[in-house]
């Protein structure tokens, strides 16, 4: 797996997570979450390679709705509120929280 310069090394080195001899988790929800994490990392790398940077992928969307839908379609196990928070933290334009709650949390 190619390492992107924009993402931390620990994402690509399971030994840093304490998974020296990794075996699948014993419960189905843990397995699904682990699978989602791996899938999301690979998708992030793919988008980073395609757009030159993950931030460019986010900025390529026309508005907040388009960004929300794009991320929701591309990233597994991430709901609307999680995406809103993520976009807010990385400095993307998001609507005021009250407006978001009214519009998207019906």
- Mind listing the pLDDT tens digit for each residue in 41-76? 999 999 999 999 999 999 999 999 999 999 999 998
Q: What phi and psi, each to the nearest 5 degrees, are found at residue 25?
A: -60, 155
- Listed by start position, the domains of the chain span 27-104
Quote the pTM value: 0.68
- Tokens standing for residue 96: 């005021």
Check pLDDT > 60 for residue 7: no
Q: Which pLDDT band, with edges at 50, 70 and 90, does 2 fall under? A: very low
DSSP string, 29-65: HHHHHHHHHHHHHHHHHHHHHHHSSHHHHHHTSSSHH
d(CA 43, CA 26): 25
Check pLDDT > 90 for residue 24: no
Report the sign of the C-alpha dihedral through residues 13, 18, 21, 22, in that order.
negative
């Amino acid at each position: 797996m190619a390492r992107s310069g924009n993402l931390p090394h620990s994402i690509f080195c399971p030994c840093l997570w304490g998974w020296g001899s990794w075996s699948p988790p014993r419960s189905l929800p843990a397995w699904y979450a682990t699978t989602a994490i791996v899938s999301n990392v690979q998708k992030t790398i793919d988008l980073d390679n395609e757009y030159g940077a993950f931030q460019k992928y986010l900025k390529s969307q026309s508005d907040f709705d388009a960004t929300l839908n794009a991320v929701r379609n591309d990233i597994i196990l991430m709901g609307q509120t999680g995406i809103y928070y993520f976009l807010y933290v990385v400095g993307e334009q998001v609507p005021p929280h009250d407006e978001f709650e009214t519009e998207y949390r019906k």
